[in-house]
Amino acid sequence: MPSGYKPIFAVYKGGQDLTARFQDRATSIVVELTAGGGAQDSLTITLDDRDHKIASPQVKDRLEVHLGYEGIGLAFMGSFEINKVLYSLPPRSITVCGTTASSLNDLKTQRINNITDKTVEQILAEVGNPLGFKIDLHPSIADSKIPQLDSNTSFGSLINRLERQYDAVAKITDGRVSLVPRAGGSSVSDFAQPTYVLRDYSFADLEVTKESRGDYAKVVADYYDENGNRTPGEAAQSAVTGIESSAIFKIPNVQRSKEEATALAKSTMAQLDRSGDRIGATLAEGDPWVRDLQCIVVSGIRSGIDGSYTLDAVRHTYEKGSGLRTTFSGQGGVNGLASEFASATTSGGNTPSTTFLTVGPGEVFGMVLPPAANALPGANSSTPRLIGAPTPNQGG
């Protein structure tokens, strides 16, 4: 843990602070944050039930969880609905499991039929609002038109389709559906998110894998014009520098509009560009300010490791008596972050358009986040409630 700092947590239910009740009983708190693909953020809390005096947790209760360090602050992990309670002995313990999504059965219900000429925002609102979901979409996705949606599909399947169509990440949490571009470092409300810079001292362990990505030079998607004629080719070029292949990836299904074809070609190309590079690591200091969909730059280690990545899964673990541990995995990026950072750090480099944050040995990002400038809507949004400073310390 950061030198001289004590790991802390906070737990709320319905606005009531339950932290004191958990303080002597919580032996571990595990939060897993996952970027899209139908997976939900999850929470597992293990409680010491040595004298059977813990009130039985109830399925459907909702807990809001924060992790952090005394003297630094707390990072909001999410609001989780309890969906499983496990009692066990020996030793006597209670394990509480939950996810950020509620109304999971509604996600699987077949409810969508014959939607014509509407935007992504209109479609999701039309289907999601009656199920109790609020919709938060990034501006680059919200106004995209879908000419026709005539397949009998579930709300959850539609969300997954939109992820693939627009190279986006969906988060479903506490009655709210958000959709943001996978690359770009922006929140739902289009606030710029800082990019974290990690050095060799940042890691307890690190593994970077380079694999053949197929090396496609471009992706082509055909579409039907206004007369119903198949029109060849909305192409998206690879952003990988130095690619030697001229191979073309052809999307087999014909899209219903030029706009859809263009979006799908760009999305597919971005996915192919990322497919060859993977990163997995454990941070030297547990850092609950690291989130899924976080953009990072690894710098100063060696060629093959240095570069930019987008995190798609992050696990934060609090262990009583041991501290905080953070592990993550992610995909390589070709969004120019690494070269922008390199340019900004060399003599005479241009002022970067992205905010890069670096911490020293033994530090965490909650120490260096700038003062909060913008509040995001809703305490249970999938993105942190404040862009900037950590939540003020709420107890030890």
Over the stretch 25-74, which tens digit does the pLDDT of each residue have?
999 999 999 987 667 899 999 999 988 888 888 999 999 999 999 999 99
Dist CA 116 CA 323 (whole Å)? 53
Check pLDDT > 60 for residue 372.
no
What is the pLDDT averaged over residues 305-332?
A: 93
What is the pLDDT averaged over residues 266-295?
A: 88
Return the pLDDT at 86: 96
DSSP state of 382: S
pLDDT tens, residue by residue, 284-293:
999 999 998 8
292 touches 193 (CB < 8 A)? no
Angle (nearest 5°) at CA 147 between 146 and 149: 75
Helix, strand or coil, per DSSP, at residue 214 = coil
b or e along 313-341 (b: 16 or more beta carbons within 10 Å of the residue's beta carbon)? bbbbbbbeeebbbbbbbbbbbbbebbebb
Return the pLDDT at 98: 94
Return the pLDDT at 183: 67
Dist CA 85 CA 95 (whole Å)? 6
Residue 102 pLDDT level (bands cut at 50, 70, 90): low
> According to the per-residue pLDDT averaged within each range, which of 83-92, 99-108, 185-194, 225-234 is highest?
83-92
Residue 82 pLDDT level (bands cut at 50, 70, 90): very high
Return the pLDDT at 268: 84
Strand partners, 249: 219
Dist CA 137 CA 146 (whole Å)? 15
pTM of the full structure:
0.81
Residue 107 pLDDT level (bands cut at 50, 70, 90): low
pLDDT tens, residue by residue, 199-257:
999 999 999 998 776 678 888 999 888 888 888 777 888 777 667 778 888 888 888 78
Check pLDDT > 50 for residue 380.
no
Helix, strand or coil, per DSSP, at residue 250 = strand
Count of positions (residues) in the chain:
396
Q: Are strands 356-358 and 195-198 parallel, antiparallel or unpaired?
A: parallel
* Residue 199 burial (C-beta neighbours within 10 Å; 0-12, 13-18, 19+): middle
Element (H, E) at 106: helix 104-108
Dist CA 27 CA 11 (whole Å)? 14
Positive or negative, the Cα torsion across 109, 122, 180, 129?
negative
Tokens of 119: 């935007």
Check pLDDT > 70 for residue 375.
no
Return the pLDDT at 154: 77
Tokens of 326: 């953070």
203 touches 286 (CB < 8 A)? no
Which of the pair, 137 or 187, is modelled with greater confidence?
137
Element (H, E) at 142: helix 139-142
280 touches 328 (CB < 8 A)? yes
Return the pLDDT at 298: 95
CA 45 to chain centre: 21
Dist CA 252 CA 234 (whole Å)? 13
206 touches 281 (CB < 8 A)? yes
pLDDT tens, residue by residue, 150-165:
666 777 888 888 888 8
Mean per-residue pLDDT over the chain, rounded: 82
Residue 182: closest CA among 199, 197, 194, 170? 170
DSSP letter for each residue of 16-42: EE-HHHHHTTEEEEEEEEE-STT---E
178 touches 162 (CB < 8 A)? no
What is the pLDDT averaged over residues 361-381?
A: 64
What is the pLDDT averaged over residues 98-110?
A: 68
Check pLDDT > 80 for residue 96.
yes
Residue 132 pLDDT level (bands cut at 50, 70, 90): confident
Residue 295: closest CA among 278, 274, 312, 283? 312
| Residue in the structure block whose two tokens are 């670096």 | 358
299 touches 199 (CB < 8 A)? yes
Return the pLDDT at 288: 96
Return the pLDDT at 381: 33
